[in-house]
Amino acid sequence: MKTLWAPWRMEYILGRKDLECLFCVKPGEQKDRENLILYRGACAYVIMNKYPYNNGHLMVVPYIHTSSLENLRDADLLDIMKLTRFSIDCLAGAFHPEGFNVGVNIGEVAGAGIKEHLHVHVVPRWAGDSNFMTVTGEIRVMPEHLLDTYDKLNPFFSADKP
């Protein structure tokens, strides 16, 4: 048997779980690059996923702390969808993916890693990005450091507005 190492996952598994919601805390810190925040809208913001499925995996997060769509106002829902579309446009310009997965996981059984604060995942996809490493080894190979990806995306989020 061969061993494949993914030590970055251990940081997440064993890492300190803050009592405060990270989606509520990060926007208030005003450290956008460090916190991987790419864009701030009126009712929601765009942040990179620190533990991505693919390079460029983004999340659109409402400022309102809620776990359900029912608790969002129409303005929140509109801003979330506009930022989702904007995120797709920015990812397309920066990385030219062949497709996207866009979705919301509501509840732990639906796959929500942070079930207390609703967010939309935007994942760029390329043919072959689920190769033998993912299928047989259950390992995802990330070819680029998160901050390098941030630096490539940031000009696209800075240049235009949704």
Q: Is 98 helix (H, G, I), strand (E, B) or coil?
A: coil
Catalytic: 119? Answer: yes
In the chain the domains, ranked by start, together with CATH numbers, are 35-159 (3.30.428.10)
Question: For the stretch 92-126, what's the b/e string if a residue is b when 16 or more beta carbons lie within 10 angstroms of its beta carbon?
Answer: eebbebeebeeebbeeeeeebeeeebbbbbbbbee
Place of tokens 């997440």: 12
Planar angle of CA 100, 29, 153, nearest 5 degrees: 30
CA 84, CA 58: separation in Å to the nearest integer? 9
Model confidence, pTM: 0.80
Over its length of 162 residues, how does the chain's per-residue pLDDT go in tens digits? 445 455 555 665 566 656 689 999 999 999 999 999 999 999 999 999 988 888 899 999 999 999 999 999 999 999 999 999 999 999 999 999 999 999 999 888 877 778 899 999 999 998 877 644 444 445 555 567 888 899 999 999 987 677
100: alpha, beta or left, given left = phi > 0 and alpha = psi -120 to 50?
Answer: beta
Cβ neighbour number for residue 67 with a 10 Å cutoff = 15
From the candidates 96, 119, 121, 145, which is the catalytic residue? 119
